[in-house]
Amino acid sequence: MSLVPYALESRDLIRRILDDTKAEGRCDLSWHRLEAAEGVVSQYSAEDGGLNVRRLRTYTVVAVKAWGARFGGGGVPQATSPKGFVGLILPQDFKASERRSLYREILEAEAARDVAPTNGIALFDGTPPIRWGSVGARVTWDEALEFVGRVLTKNKDIAERLTGTVCESPDPECVAKAIEDSRLRPFSASLLLRLAYEGRLDEVAREAKKDGLKNSWILALESLERLIVIKRTIERIWAQGSTPVFVVKTSRSTSFCNSTLPDIHIIEDTLRSRGDIEPGFTARLFRNVNEYFGLKKTGGPRLYPAVNGVSDFYQGKVAVLSTFVRLRRGGFIFKVEALYRKDLVESADEVKLAGSLLSRLATLPLSGEGYPLALMIADSNARISEPEMDGVLRALGADLVPESRSVLRV
């Protein structure tokens, strides 16, 4: 069976939607010329992460990698930071895709922290990972983290080997300290693996189910680790006089133009209709994360956990500059966002702030389309190829019988 007839049937509808010549009226676009920077960025960094999953007949192995580098003005790496994790997602059937992404973000943040530049730009691939995470609809952060504290208290030997921290009581602050002090990343995944190795994870799971938590404690632990590690990374970048900048290659966001089509598609269509191919940008400054995520009310305890200064940091100290920019004449338009200390930009002019940052970004080595080459280098180093994954499985001595659905085929 071919789907071509169905594509022909939908062609006129799809082309009319995508090629609408009334783009100008679909977005209130204030497009500003990108002026040349007064100087160059003497130091900058880039990081990226990769995932590979091998589904074998009875279980799944996951491999996670992150790679970061600090570059000098000539584009030559001055320092690199590779990070990796190989293991099992436990439990295997619980939000595996979401949790693998958490592990990748944790390693990416650790790599970025190691290579944070001084008085420069720290480049990240993707959107700012500042969303609060999830602990379940019927469970609070405090309830879930108290249970994690009980797990660490009852398994002091494992916790001490991983972190050097011993929790004498089920205190969420001690959970946060254990995360900060961990010798391994992701701490959460390492803890679950060691509990399973010692034959204790099933007992912990039964206790959690009895308490009405099910797997919420796992999500709470993993989400808290991610929030803590990212917080530490952003704080170090700020402390060294640099700006965390997030570049999205293929954004599908629709909030800027309030349309059903992606903002980038509409902006490019609008500029094309004007015949504008010059470097330029549009910008919005969100002075807190509630504005950024479109929350009408101040977030309560279900958003960010009130431990280790996490809630105060994300909800009280972070401002987000969100832009769409063309860095090179005739190049693509990318979504670029930056994180600032709220107290430093609360009264800033968003256009001047964005113009200053983006003009500096444009001085970095770019591809023909205007994408930072440093991020392309990071992407290449963070990928996990199939041959590399084969080597991982051989090193594990794993049963290499793949998952097969051939019995379903006729």
| pLDDT tens-place string over residues 255-307 | 888 888 899 999 998 999 899 999 999 999 999 999 999 886 654 445 899 99
pLDDT for 2-11, tens place per residue?
Answer: 999 999 999 9
The string of pLDDT tens digits covering residues 66-79 is 999 999 977 889 99
Q: Where does 93-215 have alpha helices with state H?
A: 96-114, 141-154, 156-163, 172-181, 187-197, 201-210
Q: Does 408 have pLDDT greater than 60?
A: no
Specify the DSSP element, H or E, that contains 359.
helix 350-361
Higher pLDDT, 398 or 146: 146
When pLDDT is cut at 50, 70 and 90, the band that residue 134 belongs to is: confident
Q: Is 392 helix (H, G, I), strand (E, B) or coil?
A: helix
pLDDT per position as a tens digit, 358-384: 999 999 999 999 999 999 999 999 999
Token pair recorded at residue 347: 């009264």
pLDDT, mean of residues 181-190: 97
Nearest partner of 329 among 282, 361, 369, judged by Cα = 369
Of 97-106, 220-229, 289-298, the least confident: 289-298
Residues 332-344: tens digit of each pLDDT: 999 999 999 999 9
Q: Which amino acid does the sequence have at 230?
A: I
Q: Over the chain, what is the mean pLDDT?
A: 92
Separation CA 193–CA 209 (nearest Å)? 19
Report the Cα 65 to chain-centroid distance in Å. Answer: 13
**87 three-class SS:** strand
Name the pairing type of β-strands 77-87 and 243-248: unpaired
The H or E element that residue 275 is part of is: none
Ranges assigned E (strand) in 295-396: 318-326, 334-341
Whole-model pTM over 0.85: yes
* Torsion angle of C-alpha atoms 31, 361, 102, 112, degrees rounded to 10: -160
SS3 68: strand
Specify the pLDDT at position 297: 62
Beta carbons of 403 and 94 less than 8 angstroms apart: no
What single letter denotes the amino acid at residue 368?
G
